[in-house]
Amino acid sequence: MPSAPPPVFSVERVSYHYQTVTALDSVSLTIPPGKRLALLGANGSGKSTLLRLLDGLYFPDSGAISFQGSPLVRERLEEDRFAFDFRRRVGLVFQNPDVQLFNPTVFDEVAFAPLQLRCPKDEIVRRVAAALDLMEIAHLRTRPPHRLSGGEKKRVALASVLVLDPEVLLLDEPTAALDPRSQSQIIDLLIGWGNGGKTVITATHDLGLVEDIADYCYLLEHGKLAAEGSPAELLRDQALLEGANLIHAHRHRHPEGGFSHSHPHTHPHSHPHPHDS
């Protein structure tokens, strides 16, 4: 029998600090290939930091991360051969699209990654056209990204990553600041990306998305892995979600009966964090 493929990512007791602030504290998890996973957590839980570590933008202060069985370390990403292969296969879309948009036009923005990977010119043109069509932004191809709306910028940022058809897609709050139609389009994309054969890892605090976009969830709380399980399992655990600041209860008074009671609500508390959400 053929051996099982190695995990896409293996995270072993990883910690990361921003000066004196602990963003991740001895986190261990395994991400198998072809799965859709959600990293759940309130602002400041460490999920954005974890995505950056998985993308090789940050490196752990302690612990280890491997990609398909190979150590994901600074020295490997300084080697052109490994770096080109990794960047082609793993793509990250930031929560704030302004962080990753810097080219003079939308076309140049989406063409940037395949250009850096030295794709042939005709292939770049074909890939860019397909990515623009996928995100329904072909009409914006000559526009400067900094003059677009927030939703349009998000679509451009997604197109600039999807243009490489990565095997692994890392998404940080992908539906934040989008109108309902754009949110639905992104959700449909996550459900059907690569005919379900790709690995998609989504960081979110929007519990309303989770059952649509994920097969399995990891819940982060104050930089620690607090729980894991299927979306249905975690969403049933009201105490766990309240403890992680993902839901909270409002009390409602009914004047006609003179009594009050509480209902859980899934809009999160916001705790601004200097570096991470």
- The answer as to whether 79 is a domain residue is yes
- The answer as to whether 276 is a domain residue is no
- Quick one: pLDDT at residue 159? 94
pTM attached to this predicted model: 0.86
- The answer as to whether 212 is a domain residue is yes
Encoding tokens for residue 191? Answer: 């459900």
Task: Give the full edge-to-edge strand order of the sheet including 70-71.
Answer: 21-31, 9-18, 62-67, 70-71
Tens of pLDDT along 32-64?
999 999 999 998 899 999 999 999 999 999 999
- Quick one: pLDDT at residue 271? 36
Mean pLDDT over 123-147 rounds to 95
231 versus 268: which is more confidently predicted? 231
- Quick one: pLDDT at residue 261? 47
- The answer as to whether 3 is a domain residue is no
- The answer as to whether 272 is a domain residue is no
- Quick one: pLDDT at residue 268? 42
Tens of pLDDT along 170-212?
999 988 877 888 888 888 877 777 666 789 999 998 898 899 8
- The answer as to whether 259 is a domain residue is yes
Tens of pLDDT along 93-119?
999 989 889 999 999 999 999 998 889
- The answer as to whether 26 is a domain residue is yes
Q: Determine contact, residues 230/215, Cβ cutoff 8 Å.
A: yes
Q: How many CB atoms lie within 10 A of CB 6?
A: 15
- The answer as to whether 274 is a domain residue is no
- Total of domains in the chain: 1
Domain span including residue 134: 9-265
Q: Where are the alpha helices (DSSP H) in 1-120?
A: 47-54, 74-77, 80-89, 106-116
Residue 243 has pLDDT above 80, yes or no: yes
What is the CATH classification number for the domain harbouring 55?
Answer: 3.40.50.300
